Amino acid sequence: MRSIIQIIIITFIASTLGPIGILSATILPVPANPPQTNIIAPIISDMDESIAIRRRSVAGAIGLSFQEISSARARINAANIDEKSNLWTVRETILEWLSSEEDYFKKAEMRLNADNLTLEEVKNIATDIKKHRSDTYDNNLANALDFIFALEVSRLTDVANDRWHRINTDIQRIERVGLIRRNLFVAEMTKARTMIDGARALVQRALLLAESIYIPQAQIIQNENPQAPTNLTTTEDVVGESETIKEDKPSIRELCEAAIVNLRLGYGEFARISSTVRRIIRAGR
Domain ranges, ordered by start, for the chain:
44-284
pLDDT at residue 173, as a whole number: 92
Tell me the pTM.
Answer: 0.74
pLDDT at residue 249, as a whole number: 85
Helices (H) and strands (E) counted in the chain, each on its own, are 8, 0
Q: Which of the two residues, 129 and 24, has the higher pLDDT score?
A: 129
pLDDT at 211 over 90: yes
- Residue 161 contacts residue 263 (beta carbons within 8 Å): no
Portion of the chain with pLDDT greater than 70, in percent: 71
Q: What is the pLDDT of residues 254-283, one digit of tens each?
A: 999 999 999 999 999 999 999 998 888 787
Distance CA 243, CA 251 (A): 15
- Residue 90 contacts residue 214 (beta carbons within 8 Å): yes
Q: What is the pLDDT of residues 166-201, one digit of tens each?
A: 999 999 998 888 888 898 999 999 999 999 999 999
Q: What is the pLDDT of residues 216-250, one digit of tens each?
A: 754 444 333 434 443 343 443 333 333 445 556 89
pLDDT at 127 over 50: yes
pLDDT at residue 25, as a whole number: 35
